[in-house]
């Protein structure tokens, strides 16, 4: 007698990375992923994670990243499997999945791979557990976009903001349960670009989850938190008025403020390398002489995101390429948010 193979339907989520203009840095509570401050990000377009989740007949989950496979049997405490388990429980499922994932950009070096990674994993696994890729059907089953964002946030905080395109705000609220995540402007509002200067694609020196904890010991951290509400309103105003100079000034100060906290926390964390600092000196000189219409922001890594108007991104990218720095350049721009579809990731091999 021939056994019929069960047919498993695959679901693929494509989730963009996002670059924080106002950084999420420090948690009031790690267990509930309650951030110490509000953050604002711009969703990217080309830097994304593509994850395919397929229900499995095994009694464990499997995660494949760039062809390398691990399972929840061999790595039960891995944050990927803790997240799949969280999603499974939220969906009321008892099944297991195989999730296969790849990034269109280097991982773990300050291009927010955990943001797109956990957003894509959340969406693909919810679709696989609930067996639908349709946003309206997910919403009917209790998973509207904000609920999905909260679920993604539990995997990695910044992932919550990758659930929308354009400019997204994650508000900390007065308690962990009062957090809110919402789009504040769609991508069409203001066509900004992000010219990413990859000075190193080595994994960062310390995972951001550990670095969030180290921030509290910095003498600069309490003053930072006290000053952030005003910075938030200045960034909001710059976005509303599309005032590029004002936005640029704020985001560059904000990134340096976060890195000052990193360097003075316990343990001290040095994400900025000599190359990052040399590059910043070059950028500021070029800008002062009117040759480079771009402002820097830097996440937890040495690489520099040059935020500029979309119309200037080629000029900025060419200037970087001619600068003599040993780097590669990714030219990205504001994007429209994630998508989910039935089928495997081969469909998105662009
Ligand atoms: C510098 O979201 O990676 O990119 O919640 O512990 O996974 P966990 O942290 P993560 O922190 C991101 C920090 C940041 C700033 C930001 O994206 O807001």
Q: What is the pLDDT of residue 346?
A: 56
**Radius of gyration over alpha carbons of the chain, in Å?**
20
- Distance, CA of 278 to CA of 108 (rounded, Å): 22
327, 231: one domain: yes
Q: Is 134's pLDDT higher than 90?
A: yes
Mean pLDDT throughout 258-272?
97
Q: How many domains does the chain divide into? A: 2
What's the pLDDT at 205? 78
Same-domain status, 34 and 170 = yes
Atom of ligand 1 nearest to the CA of 209: 6
Atom of ligand 1 nearest to the CA of 300: 1
The residue contributing the CA closest to ligand 1 atom 7 is 156
From 135, 161, 188, give the residue that closes a domain: 188
Q: Are residues 182 and 196 in the same domain?
A: no
Residue 146 maps to a domain: yes
Q: With 70 as the cut, is the pLDDT of residue 242 above it?
A: yes
Percent of the chain with pLDDT over 90: 90
pLDDT of residue 105: 86
pLDDT tens column, 219-240: 999 999 999 999 999 999 999 9
**Statement: residue 322 has pLDDT above 60:** yes
Q: Are residues 18 and 119 in the same domain?
A: yes
CA of 209 to the centre of ligand 1 (A): 7
pLDDT at 119 over 80: yes
Residue, of 344 and 43, whose pLDDT is higher = 43
The verdict on 229 and 131 lying in the same domain is: no
Which of residues 307 and 209 earns the better pLDDT score? 307
Would 46 be classed as within a structural domain? yes
CA angle 243, 167, 113 (to 5 degrees): 125
The reported pLDDT for the residue numbered 344 is 85
Q: How far is the CA of 158 from the centre of ligand 1 (A)?
A: 5
Does 344 reside within a domain? no
Same domain, 305 and 178: no
Cβ-based neighbour number of residue 136 at 10 Å = 9
Atom number of ligand 1 nearest to Cα 33: 5
Could you give the maximum distance between any two Cα atoms of the chain, in Å? 79
Calculate mean pLDDT across residues 173-177.
Answer: 98
113 CA distance to ligand 1 middle (Å)? 10
Q: What is the pLDDT of residue 318?
A: 98
Same domain assignment for residues 182 and 224 = no
Task: Answer whether residue 269 shows pLDDT above 70.
Answer: yes
Domain identity same for 69 and 40:
yes
Query: What is the model's pLDDT at position 347?
Result: 47
- What average pLDDT does this structure show over 243-263? 98
With 70 as the cut, is the pLDDT of residue 31 above it?
yes
Q: What is the CATH number of the domain that holds 20?
A: 3.30.230.10
Lowest mean pLDDT among 52-66, 195-209, 288-302: 195-209
Q: What is the pLDDT of residue 349?
A: 42
Q: Do 250 and 182 lie in a common domain?
A: no
How far is it, in rounded angstroms, from Cα 258 to Cα 10? 40
Residue 4 included in any domain = no
The last residue of a domain, from among 162, 188, 214: 188
Residues 167 and 288 in one domain: no
Instruction: Tell me how far CA of residue 156 lies from CA of 31, 74, 163, 273, in angstroms.
Output: 11, 22, 12, 25
Range of the structural domain that residue 53 is part of? 11-188
In angstroms, what is the span from residue 110 Cα to ligand 1's centroid?
9
Read off the DSSP letter of residue 60.
Answer: S
- The residue whose two tokens read 């003075």 is 264
348 within a domain of the structure (yes/no): no
Say if 5 falls within a structural domain: no
Give pLDDT tens digits for 52-77. Answer: 999 999 999 999 998 899 999 999 99
Q: Taking 80 as the threshold, does the pLDDT of residue 147 lie above it?
A: yes
> What's the pLDDT at 112?
65
Measure the CA–CA gap between 245 and 242, rounded to whole angstroms.
9
Q: Are residues 182 and 93 in the same domain?
A: yes
Round the average pLDDT of the chain to a whole number and report it. Answer: 94
What is the full DSSP assignment across 231-292? Answer: HHHHHHHHHHHT-HHHHHHHHHHHHHHHHHHHHHSSS------HHHHHHHHHHHHHHHTTS-
Query: Is there a single domain that holds both residue 133 and residue 245?
Result: no
Residue 347 within a domain:
no
Nearest atom in ligand 1 to the alpha carbon of residue 41 is 18
Pair 144, 151: CB distance under 8 Å: no
The confidence score (pLDDT) of residue 350 equals 40
Which domain CATH number covers 295?
3.30.70.890
Neighbours of 254 (CB within 10 A): 26
Among candidate residues 182, 164, 161, the one with its CA nearest the CA of residue 33: 161
User: Does any domain span residue 340?
Assistant: no
Position in ligand 1 atom list of the atom nearest CA 157: 5
Residue 109's pLDDT is: 59
- Domain end position, chosen among 137, 172, 188: 188
Ligand 1 centroid, distance to 298 Cα (angstroms): 12
How many angstroms does the Cα of residue 159 sit away from the middle of ligand 1?
8
Residues with CB under 6 A from ligand 1: 20, 23-24, 33, 39, 112, 114, 156-158, 208-209, 212, 299-300
Q: Which of 52-56, 202-206, 335-339 has the lowest mean pLDDT?
A: 202-206
């Amino acid at each position: 007698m021939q056994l019929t193979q069960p047919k498993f339907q695959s679901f693929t989520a494509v989730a963009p990375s996002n670059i924080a203009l106002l950084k999420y840095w420090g948690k009031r509570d790690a267990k509930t992923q309650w951030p110490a401050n509000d953050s604002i990000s711009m969703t990217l377009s080309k830097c994304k994670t593509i994850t395919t989740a397929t229900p499995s007949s095994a009694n464990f989950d499997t995660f494949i990243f760039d062809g390398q496979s691990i399972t929840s049997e061999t790595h039960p405490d891995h944050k990927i499997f803790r997240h799949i388990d969280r999603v499974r429980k939220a969906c009321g499922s008892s099944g297991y999945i195989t999730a296969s994932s790849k990034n269109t950009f280097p991982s773990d070096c300050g291009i927010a791979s955990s943001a797109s990674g956990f957003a894509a994993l959340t969406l693909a696994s919810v679709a696989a557990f609930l067996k639908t890729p349709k946003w309206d059907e997910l919403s009917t089953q209790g998973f509207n976009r904000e609920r999905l964002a909260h679920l993604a946030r539990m995997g990695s905080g910044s992932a919550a903001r990758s659930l929308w395109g354009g400019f997204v705000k994650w508000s900390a609220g007065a308690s962990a349960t009062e957090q809110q995540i919402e789009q504040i402007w769609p991508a069409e509002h203001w066509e900004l670009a992000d010219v990413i200067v990859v000075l190193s694609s080595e994994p960062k020196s310390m995972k951001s989850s550990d670095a969030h904890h180290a921030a509290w010991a910095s003498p600069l951290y309490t003053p930072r938190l006290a000053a952030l509400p005003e910075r938030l309103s200045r960034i909001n105003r710059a976005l509303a008025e599309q005032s590029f100079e004002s936005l640029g000034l704020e985001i560059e100060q904000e990134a340096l403020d976060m890195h000052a906290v990193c360097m003075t926390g316990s343990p001290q964390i040095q994400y900025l390398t000599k190359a990052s600092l040399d590059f910043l000196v070059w950028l500021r000189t070029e800008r002062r002489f009117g040759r480079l219409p771009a402002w820097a922001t830097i996440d937890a890594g040495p690489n520099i995101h040059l935020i500029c108007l979309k119309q200037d991104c080629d000029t900025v990218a060419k200037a970087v390429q001619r600068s003599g720095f040993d780097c590669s350049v990714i030219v990205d721009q504001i994007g429209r948010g994630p998508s989910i579809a039935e089928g495997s990731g081969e469909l998105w091999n662009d």
